[in-house]
Amino acid sequence: MSRPRRGESLSLTIDDLAFGGEGVGRADGYVVFVRGGLPGDRLRVRLAEARARFGRGVIEAVETPSPDRVEAPCPYFGRCGGCRLQHLAYPAQLAFKAKQVADCLQRLGGLGRFEIRPIVPAPELYGYRNKMEFTVAEVAGEPVVGLHEAERYDSVLDVERCLLQPDALNALLDEVRRDLRERRLSVYDQAAGDGLLRFLMLREGRRTGETMANIVATAPEIETLAPLAERLRARVPSTVSVVLNVNAKKASVAVGTEEHLLAGRDHINESLGGLTFQISANSFFKTNTAQAERLFALVEAACALTGMETVFDLFSGTGAISLLLAPRCRRLFGIEVAATAVEDAVRNARANGIDNCTFLSGEVRHHLPELIRNGVKAEVVVADPPRAGFHPKALQALVALGPARIVYVSCNPGTLARDAGDLTRAGYRLEWVQPVDMFPHTPHIEAIARLTRGG
C-alpha cells in the first residue's frame, strides 16, 4: 500500500513506547509515533507529519483504551511539556523504564553478558521534587509564571500548581505570580531581548523544610525585587533564602553570572544519610531526596569499601556521594565543574567533621589527567555525569587510571551504554545494572552500573 499522507486519519494499535515516551504504532508496516499513546491503545490518529520512514500522529479518538491507561490528575496534562506518563499506571511506567535501560544497553553498548536488576520504584509518586524551574513570560498582556507547553519552546503555560513539587514550593510560586501582577513588574521578552524577570527557580530541603526562591533577571535591580523577597519571607514561613541571579545574555538558562542575596541566607540545608548539606542556588543536588537516599545506599554497597581505598568521585556536585563514602575510605577526591557546588561541598565536609576529602573545581577531563600525572591512584571511582555522559578525554583518563571498580550513576541509558561499551573494550567487565526510578510520570530513568577491571 502507498505511504500515508499528512492530514490523513488512521486507525492503529499502539504496541510500544519510544524512549521519549511517545506511543509507537504501525499502519500496514508504516511506523507512527503518537504523543499520549499507550501500549494496548486502539487509536484514531491524524497524521501531523509524514516522512519516508515514519510519521507522527495526533490522537483524534481513543477507540479502545489500554488496560494500563488511567486518568491523569493534573489539569495541565497533555498541554504541559513536563509529565508525559501521568496517564500510565505506575507499574507499567516501571516496566517501560526497565525495558528502556535493557534495550539501550543491549542495542547500543555491544556488551557481553551482565545482570539487569529489578527496577527500584519511587516511594512518592507526587510532590517528590525538591527543585523546580519556571519561566516568566507575558501572555496576552498578562505576566505568567509557568512551564513550556508540550513541543513548544516559544509558549509558556501559566501553571498555578505543579503536582510534582511540594505544597511550600507551590505557595512560593503563587506569591511570586501575585506580586508580578500586582506591581506590574517588567517581564523579559526573548524576541526583543529586553525586560527584567526571566526565571523562577524553587528549592526545598525535604528533611529540613527550608525553602529557597531564586529569581533570575537581566539586571541587578535589588531595590525593585526587595519587596518581593520580603513578601515571600512573610507569607511563606519556610522561606529562608531569596536570591537574585543576573543573566543578561541571550542564552535562555536559569543560571546567572552574578548572584545577590535579597533576603535570608544564600543557601538552604538538607539532611541525607545522617549528614547535613548546604545547597546554594546553582548547585547540583539530586532532585528526589527520598529516592536519592536509596540510590546512594546502592552506590555505597557497589563500592564495597574496606576503609583502605582512595576514591575518586567524578561530577561530585555538592559532595553528597563523596561525604557519604568518606567515612568508609582512606581518602577521597571530588571533581566538579560548578564552582559554587564545590564551595558547598567544602562547607558540607567541614560542617560534618569530614577531613579526608579534597574537592577540585573544574572539568573532569582536565583534573583527572593531572591527578594521574601527580601520582595519585584510586582503587574505586564513582561517576555521576550529566546526560551527555563522559567527554572522550575524561573516559581515556579513567581507563589510564585503571581503578579496580567503577560505579557509574547515569541519567541517560544511551550514554551509559556508549561509555560502558568503551570501558568493556578497554578491559572492564560490566557486572550489573540497577535501574532506579527517580522521576515518576516522566520518561526519565536513572541507573547504576558496576564495572570491574579484568575478566
The CATH number that applies at residue 101 is 3.40.50.150
Domain membership flag for residue 255: yes
Domain membership flag for residue 377: yes
Indicate whether 293 and 421 sit together in one domain. Answer: yes
The pLDDT assigned to 1 comes to 54
Considering all CA atoms of the chain, what is the largest pairwise distance in Å, rounded to the nearest integer? 71
What does the alpha-carbon distance between residue 295 and residue 408 come to, in Å, rounded to a whole number?
12
CATH of the domain at 198: 2.40.50.1070
DSSP code per residue over 310-325: EEEEES-TTSHHHHHH
Domain membership flag for residue 280: no
- Of the candidates 348, 327, 328, the one whose C-alpha atom is nearest the C-alpha of residue 336 is 348
The pLDDT assigned to 60 comes to 96
Domain membership flag for residue 155: yes
What does the alpha-carbon distance between residue 77 and residue 39 come to, in Å, rounded to a whole number?
18
Indicate whether 115 and 213 sit together in one domain. Answer: no
Indicate the pLDDT class of residue 455, thresholds 50, 70 and 90. Answer: low
pLDDT in tens, 417-448: 999 999 999 999 999 999 999 999 999 999 99
Asked if 31 and 53 count as a contact pair (C-beta separation under 8 A), the reply is: yes
Indicate whether 375 and 448 sit together in one domain. Answer: yes
- Which of 47-51, 150-154, 360-364 bottoms out in mean pLDDT, i.e. has the lowest? 150-154
What does the alpha-carbon distance between residue 312 and residue 380 come to, in Å, rounded to a whole number?
7
Indicate the pLDDT class of residue 254, thresholds 50, 70 and 90. Answer: confident
Task: Give residues with Cβ within 8 angstroms of 163, minimum separation 6.
Answer: 73, 74, 83, 126, 127
The residue range of the domain holding 242 is 131-268
DSSP code per residue over 85-143: -TTB-HHHHHHHHHHHHHHHHHHHS---S-EEPPPB--S-SSS-BSEEEEEEEEETTEE
DSSP code per residue over 441-455: TSS--EEEEEEEE--
Domain membership flag for residue 426: yes
- For residues 368, 374, 377, 382, the Cα torsion angle rounded to the nearest 10 degrees is -20
Last residue of a domain, one of 240, 268, 296: 268
Task: Give residues with Cβ within 8 angstroms of 106, minimum separation 6.
Answer: none
Percentage, residues of the chain above pLDDT 70: 99
Tally of structural domains, the chain? 3
- Which of 133-142, 355-364, 368-377, 396-405 bottoms out in mean pLDDT, i.e. has the lowest? 133-142
Ranges of beta strands (E only) in 337-391 are 357-361, 380-383
The pLDDT assigned to 390 comes to 97
Task: Give residues with Cβ within 8 angstroms of 240, minimum separation 6.
Answer: 210, 211, 212, 264, 265, 268
Indicate whether 297 and 254 sit together in one domain. Answer: no
Domain membership flag for residue 111: yes
Last residue of a domain, one of 203, 237, 268: 268
Instruction: Enter the pTM of the model.
Output: 0.91
Q: Choosing from 104, 162, 329, 411, which is the catalytic residue?
A: 411
- Of the candidates 448, 148, 142, 440, the one whose C-alpha atom is nearest the C-alpha of residue 303 is 448
Amino acid found at 222 = I
Indicate whether 388 and 260 sit together in one domain. Answer: no
CATH of the domain at 37: 2.40.50.140
Indicate the pLDDT class of residue 411, thresholds 50, 70 and 90. Answer: very high
Average pLDDT of the segment spanning 195-217: 96
Indicate whether 146 and 37 sit together in one domain. Answer: no
Indicate whether 256 and 302 sit together in one domain. Answer: no
The pLDDT assigned to 232 comes to 98
Indicate whether 219 and 367 sit together in one domain. Answer: no
Average pLDDT of the segment spanning 24-42: 95
Indicate whether 346 and 211 sit together in one domain. Answer: no
The reply to whether 411 belongs to the active site is: yes
Asked if 157 and 79 count as a contact pair (C-beta separation under 8 A), the reply is: yes
The answer on pLDDT for 107 being more than 90 is no
Task: Give residues with Cβ within 8 angstroms of 190, minimum separation 6.
Answer: 154, 252
Average pLDDT of the segment spanning 136-153: 89
Q: What is the DSSP letter of 271?
A: E
pLDDT in tens, 59-83: 999 999 999 999 999 999 999 988 9
Average pLDDT of the segment spanning 113-117: 92
User: 334 vs 140, which has greater pLDDT?
Assistant: 334
Checking 16-20 for CB contacts under 8 A at 24+ apart, the result is: 17/96, 17/443, 19/100, 19/104, 19/413, 19/414, 19/443, 20/84, 20/443
What does the alpha-carbon distance between residue 69 and residue 67 come to, in Å, rounded to a whole number?
6
Indicate whether 137 and 245 sit together in one domain. Answer: yes
Indicate whether 351 and 435 sit together in one domain. Answer: yes
Last residue of a domain, one of 64, 81, 109: 64
Indicate whether 297 and 433 sit together in one domain. Answer: yes
Domain membership flag for residue 80: no
- Which of 106-115, 381-390, 392-401 bottoms out in mean pLDDT, i.e. has the lowest? 106-115
Domain membership flag for residue 281: no
Asked if 185 and 244 count as a contact pair (C-beta separation under 8 A), the reply is: no
pLDDT in tens, 281-320: 988 889 999 999 999 999 999 999 999 999 999 999 989 9
The pLDDT assigned to 256 comes to 81
The pLDDT assigned to 150 comes to 84
